[in-house]
Amino acid sequence: MERQSGGASKDGAVETERRRVLITGCSSGFGLLTAVQAAGSGFDVVATVRNPVRADALRRALDARGLDAKIDTLDVTDSEHIRRIADRYEPIDVLVNNAGILINGSFADLSERELRDVFETNYFGAVALTRAVAGPMLRRRRGRIINVASLAGSVGYPYCSAYAASKAALIAFTQSIRVELAPFGIDVVSVEPGFHKTQIIGSNARPADRFDDPDSPLASYGRSSLRALAGDLLPWAGSPEKVARRIVRLMSVRRPRTRYVLGTDARLAAAFRWLGLAGAMERLFIRRIERAHRRTP
Ligand SMILES: NC(=O)c1ccc[n+]([C@@H]2O[C@H](COP(=O)([O-])OP(=O)(O)OC[C@H]3O[C@@H](n4cnc5c(N)ncnc54)[C@H](OP(=O)(O)O)[C@@H]3O)[C@@H](O)[C@H]2O)c1
């Protein structure tokens, strides 16, 4: 089946003919919005959710716009799910590795299980699905993989080190396999949003089991600084719809770059680093954390 018309709009986007897009983590946030916007842009969308009982918001959002998408179950930490989904929906033109989790807490307070859980979803899950989907893409000599990383993956984020490290790994994975896959006509990009109001900083944010541990010298710093930084960053928080729009555009843009930094805070952080001011930014963070801690009763 011919999937690209080959025509290009004036902004360089290739016109699409029901190309198939597989998206992970569509029960809320960027995943849900990307699925809806991609369906609205004419893609054949396979929107996957970890838990089928959490697919209602997605269904409602699609129905409200009279849009259609295939909704299926995919826990990216389950190799059986991955194999079944990759087989069932082959060939996939665009894969969006969006599923992610965040566990708050100092590096010293995270259990090894919590540390590994974050990597299982944010890194190993994305890698496993990419490996499953890449085979048919290599045979067809075309495809696109969009990895939803994070600003935290390039600048770090205190008391979210497992999350930041998993996203750094995802960015390095993207940069490495982008070169491996380029000769086969497969593009790989990372999207690196800053702070955006979705469930990952709301009901899906999970505190480490030792987050409130009175015996931890770092736990009270973690609590006060996360509260303070979230308060500071909230006014800068970007619109998740914009991120989804950007991801959908990236599904079709002719020559995508390697990395896309999204959101005002993320662009500001990138500018600081470009100007050689990363140290100054770090000192600001440290001062802010100390001030917030002193003010905590
Ligand atoms: N919002 C931000 O500020 C921000 C910034 C940078 C990057 N990101 C990244 O953006 C991506 C989407 O997050 P979001 O902000 O839209 O938050 P969200 O609303 O919490 O969405 C996260 C999605 O991932 C799903 N998920 C979690 N574990 C999964 C697993 N094992 N298998 C499949 N799906 C799983 C969740 O499903 P359940 O409903 O089952 O939990 C949910 O659908 C994440 O990778 C996140 O790290 C977010």
What pLDDT does residue 80 have? 98
- Ligand 1 pocket residue status of 73, Cβ below 6 Å: no
Is 27 inside a domain boundary? yes
What pLDDT does residue 4 have? 45
Is 24 inside a domain boundary? yes
Which CATH number goes with the domain that contains 83? 3.40.50.720
What pLDDT does residue 297 have? 65
Specify whether 260 is catalytic: no
What pLDDT does residue 16 have? 46
What pLDDT does residue 202 have? 87
What pLDDT does residue 131 have? 98
Single pTM value for the model = 0.94
Is 121 inside a domain boundary? yes
- Ligand 1 pocket residue status of 30, Cβ below 6 Å: yes
- Ligand 1 pocket residue status of 266, Cβ below 6 Å: no
Distance 29 CA to ligand 1 centre (A): 7
Tally of structural domains, the chain: 1
Distance 96 CA to ligand 1 centre (A): 12
- Ligand 1 pocket residue status of 100, Cβ below 6 Å: yes
Residue ranges in the chain modelled with pLDDT below 50: 1-12, 15-16
Is 211 inside a domain boundary? yes
Strand 186-193 versus strand 259-262 pairing type? parallel
Is 196 inside a domain boundary? yes
> Each residue of 51-69: pLDDT tens digit?
999 999 999 999 999 999 9
> Each residue of 250-280: pLDDT tens digit?
999 999 999 999 999 999 999 999 999 999 9
Is 143 inside a domain boundary? yes
Per the structure, the complete domain to which residue 34 belongs is given by 4-216+238-264
Is 292 inside a domain boundary? no
Is 91 inside a domain boundary? yes
What pLDDT does residue 153 have? 97
Q: Which of 89, 123, 159, 163 is catalytic?
A: 163
